Amino acid sequence: MASEKEVVHELLVSKEAFAIIAEAIKWLTIEKLKFQRLRDVITDVIRAPDLSNQDLIAAFNRHRPCDGRVRIYLRLSGALNGEFDYLKARLAEVTGDQCGVRETVVFCALAISQRQISLAKAAF
């Protein structure tokens, strides 16, 4: 049985972007009651990307650029990487600006964090 190839993305992100990613992993871990990884954040957002949420797009644009000196790695299966590339292209269309892997990762992290903020507001 041939194993599916994985794609490993090496990213350099800012401290602020790293904090956003860490918060997203934390929130998703609490929501799922099981430890989550960056790949899980990406998978969750790919299932139902909310590219019409103007608050999310505005927050994403406020946090750009995302480049920095913190090194992270994202490992995706070939199939998931294809879906990720599609999301990356759609995000570029919506924002009207070029979006790379780093920017798309930050968008996914912001989507998780913003979802948790919305749930918290609805609870009160």
Mean pLDDT on 42-68 = 91
What's the mean per-residue pLDDT of the chain?
91
pLDDT range class, residue 64, cuts 50, 70, 90: confident
Q: Outline where the chain has alpha helix (H).
A: 15-32, 38-47, 54-62, 78-95, 101-123
> In the block, which residue shows the tokens 């899980």?
40
Residue 95 burial (CB count, 10 A): 16
Write the CB contacts of 67 (distance below 8 Å, at least 6 apart in sequence).
Answer: 12, 13, 14, 102
pLDDT reported for residue 119:
62
